[in-house]
């Protein structure tokens, strides 16, 4: 029998109490699940289902663990933990991806159509926005989430340039890489979407220089990671840029006195762009355990050399 340690907050266990055993059973896995607060032998744990806000921070006693399966899409809070030597897998969940696609396309269309200005009391203006084909989009980050969002925008008729660490071959998306590619993407876009992971190379990706490459009145959307933006630089650039819609921040919840709350060119959403759904996330966890037990490669392995704690 496989022994699985569920290392997350008690409230998270309530979400997974039924979903995880059901998913493991459906995958044909005979498993005993223990919570991190339960008495258990660390040396007998085969798999750890993990949320980075768990009280478990020292992985040293878990000498037999075959993999740590993250419940969050982001791994920056756990990857840098040097006591963790087992393979680490990020969460890539269909429900999470769909939620991100809906948030990104919704806010792209909001800015594309100028919906913020179409409120009671604004002057009547019959000027129609350009069609999608004339509203270029830059997608910074072409992983699972960025690629899905880019595909949805292409299907709506937007020209999309995708910037990533390595070239991508995705229908309808112009692929660029490197520093020159980043500048090309930013200079050519009316709307920029941040969906890169938080790594050594993307910390403060949007800084005074790169924000300066953006077009006047361009819009920045950040449903990715708060640390991708130099906040002081963005606040300074908003005199020239059109708007910033931000879903992630360096400190969450966003403090009441943060200048983003009151800035007329900023929209704050409370980290809702994408959320893990326990029913589908449990299936992803179960599939990885099944693969590990069968000697198959694990899904969504983290590049430990590139990721940043």
The structural architecture, per CATH, of the domain 2-93+276-293 is 3-Layer(aba) Sandwich (3.40)
Structural contact between residues 140 and 195, judged by C-beta atoms closer than 8 angstroms: yes
2-7 and 137-140 strand pairing: unpaired
Distance set, CA 273 to CA 15, 222, 244, 245, 269 (Å):
19, 9, 15, 11, 8
User: What is the DSSP secondary-structure string of the chain?
Assistant: -EEEEEES-HHHHHHHTTHHHHHHHHTT--EEEEETTS---GGG--EEEE-TTSS----TT-TT--EEEESSS--TTTTT-TT--S-EE----HHHHHHHHHHHHHHHHHHHTTGGG-STTSPP--PPPPPGGGS-EEEE--SHHHHHHHHHHHHTT--EEEEESS----TTEEEEEHHHHHHHHHHT-SEEEE----BTTTTT-B-HHHHHHSPTT-EEEE-S-GGGB-HHHHHHHTTTSSEEEE---SSSSPPTT-HHHH-TTEEE--S-S----HHHHHHHHHHHHHHHHTTPPPSSB--TTTB--
Domain boundaries of the chain, sorted by first residue: 2-93+276-293, 94-268
What is the Cα–Cα distance from 191 to 204, expressed in whole angstroms? 18
Task: Write down the catalytic residue from 112, 225, 243, 300.
Answer: 225
Instruction: Tell me the C-alpha distance between 196 and 177, whole Å.
Output: 13
Residue 304 is predicted with a pLDDT of 67
Distances (CA, A) of 256 to 133, 243, 252, 253, 259: 39, 20, 11, 9, 9
Torsion of CA 237, 240, 241, 242, to 10 degrees: 140
pLDDT, position 119: 67
Catalytic-role residue among 271, 277, 290, 291: 271
The pLDDT of residue 308 is 36
Q: Give pLDDT tens digits along the chain (309 positions).
A: 999 999 999 999 999 999 999 999 999 999 999 999 999 999 999 999 999 999 999 999 999 999 999 998 888 888 889 999 999 999 998 889 999 999 999 999 999 999 988 766 677 777 889 999 999 999 999 999 999 999 999 999 999 999 999 999 999 999 999 999 999 999 999 999 999 988 888 999 999 999 999 999 999 999 999 999 999 999 999 999 999 999 999 999 999 999 999 999 999 999 999 888 899 999 999 999 999 999 999 999 998 665 433
Find out whether 61 and 42 touch, Cβ atoms under 8 Å: yes
- 94-268 shares the fold of 2-93+276-293: yes
Asked about 225 being catalytic, the answer comes back as yes
User: Can you tell me the distance from the alpha carbon of 7 to that of 14, in angstroms, rounded to the nearest whole number?
Assistant: 12
pLDDT for the residue numbered 307: 43
> What is the domain class of 94-268 according to CATH?
alpha beta
Strand partners, 7: 50
């Amino acid at each position: 029998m496989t022994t699985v340690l569920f290392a997350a907050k008690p409230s998270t266990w309530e979400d997974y109490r039924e979903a995880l055993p059901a998913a493991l059973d459906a995958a044909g896995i005979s498993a005993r699940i223990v919570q991190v607060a339960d008495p258990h032998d660390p040396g007998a744990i085969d798999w750890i289902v993990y949320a980075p806000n768990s009280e478990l921070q020292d992985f040293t006693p878990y000498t037999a663990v075959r993999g740590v399966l993250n419940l969050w899409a982001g791994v920056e809070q756990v990857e840098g933990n040097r006591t963790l030597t087992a393979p680490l897998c990020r969460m890539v969940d269909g429900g999470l991806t769909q939620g991100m696609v809906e948030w990104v396309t919704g806010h792209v269309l909001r800015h594309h159509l100028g919906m913020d200005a179409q409120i009671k009391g604004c002057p009547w203006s019959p000027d129609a926005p350009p069609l999608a084909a004339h509203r270029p989009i830059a997608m910074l980050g072409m992983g699972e989430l960025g690629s899905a969002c880019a595909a949805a925008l292409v299907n709506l008729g937007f020209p999309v340039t995708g910037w990533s660490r390595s070239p991508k071959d995705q229908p309808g998306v112009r692929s660029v890489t490197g520093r020159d590619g980043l500048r090309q993407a930013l200079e050519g876009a009316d709307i920029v979407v941040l969906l890169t992971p938080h790594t050594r190379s993307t910390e403060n990706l949007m800084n005074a220089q790169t924000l300066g490459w953006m077009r006047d009145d361009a819009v920045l959307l950040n449903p990715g990671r708060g640390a991708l933006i130099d906040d002081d630089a963005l606040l300074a650039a908003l005199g020239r840029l059109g708007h910033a819609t931000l879903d992630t921040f360096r400190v969450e919840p966003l403090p009441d006195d943060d200048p983003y709350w009151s800035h007329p060119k900023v929209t704050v959403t409370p980290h809702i762009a994408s959320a893990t759904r326990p029913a589908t996330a449990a299936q992803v966890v179960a599939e990885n355990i099944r693969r590990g037990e069968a000697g198959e490669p694990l899904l969504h392995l983290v590049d430990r050399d590139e990721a940043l704690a």
